[in-house]
Amino acid sequence: MNEKIIAVLIILLYFSPVFYQLSIVIKESKRGNKLPLKKFLRVFKYSVLIFILIITDLGIISHTNYLDYERPTTYDRFDEITFENFRGLEFFKKSLYGNERFAYVYTTIDSDFDENYVTIQSLFHPSRSFVYNKHTNSRELLKHEKYHIKITELYARKARKEVLQLSSITSDKVNEILEAIWRKEREYQKRYDYDTFHSYVLSEQKKYEKEVDSLLNLHAAYKNPKINIDEKD
């Protein structure tokens, strides 16, 4: 059944007591009885408030699954990642072009300043990443999703390289670099999915794997997330 129809049916079912009270109000108002109106307004008010709370809670945990939370994972734990770590929620499980064999991964490049260092690292977010079937045995699909993580690490290394080339490191300059890198990384991620058709075009998938691994090795000198600010002064 269409997801929109299901959602409408759920909302109608939830508000059925309100509709019932409304029918009583209409019936009794014809008789001149105004008392049911007060009960209707009370039922309506609390129904709407509870509905807003439910929608808010669902929105929060669909964004980040706090019911089964796993903290963001750094790239040094890349080899440990499996589909068991994909803990994100989809309340209406979609399919990709009719195929239920799919997943998506959420990654970021984060920075942190302290007195002597700036840390730039790529992060995989388990509780914001989703797999339709957590017990799928598709190694190809897992590899495709994990290369999204590798791509984010590649651009984190490119960001560190640019920061190390600065004559002096400031938070404004680092943030400017990260913003530009983020746009390039997102563009590359989209192209990767498009060209490989989300892992289904094997020749393109292999081409990207070779390219990403080669570029990661080329940027191996920048794999350390921590950059010593003092050395630049």
How many angstroms separate the CA atoms of 74 and 160, rounded? 15
**Complete DSSP assignment for the chain:** --HHHHHHHHHHHHTHHHHHHHHHHHHHHTTT--HHHHHHHHHHHHHHHHHHHHHHHHHHHHHS-GGG----EEGGGGGG--GGG-----SS---BTTBS--EE--EEEEEEE-SSEEEEEEEE-GGG-EES-TT---HHHHHHHHHHHHHHHHHHHHHHHHHHTSSS--HHHHHHHHHHHHHHHHHHHHHHHHHHTTTT-HHHHHHHHHHHHHHHHHTGGG--SEEESGGG-
User: Is residue 151 a contact partner of residue 105, using CB atoms and an 8 Å limit?
Assistant: no
User: Is residue 6 a contact partner of residue 93, using CB atoms and an 8 Å limit?
Assistant: no
User: Is residue 205 a contact partner of residue 199, using CB atoms and an 8 Å limit?
Assistant: yes
Per-residue pLDDT of the chain (233 residues; tens, 9 = 90+): 555 676 677 777 777 887 777 787 777 776 767 667 777 788 788 888 888 887 777 677 777 888 888 999 999 999 999 999 999 987 655 655 555 557 899 999 999 998 889 999 999 999 999 988 777 778 999 999 999 999 999 999 999 999 999 988 899 999 999 999 999 999 999 999 999 998 889 999 999 999 999 999 999 999 999 999 876 55
pLDDT of residue 54: 79
How many angstroms separate the CA atoms of 160 and 139, rounded? 31
- The pTM of the full predicted model, rounded to 2 decimals, is 0.79
How many angstroms separate the CA atoms of 188 and 180, rounded? 13
pLDDT of residue 42: 82
pLDDT of residue 37: 75
Closest CA to 148 of 124, 175, 127: 124
How many angstroms separate the CA atoms of 223 and 178, rounded? 16
pLDDT of residue 83: 93
How many angstroms separate the CA atoms of 49 and 47, rounded? 6
The separation between CA 70 and the C-alpha centre of its own chain, rounded to angstroms, equals: 13
Closest CA to 65 of 125, 7, 10, 105: 125
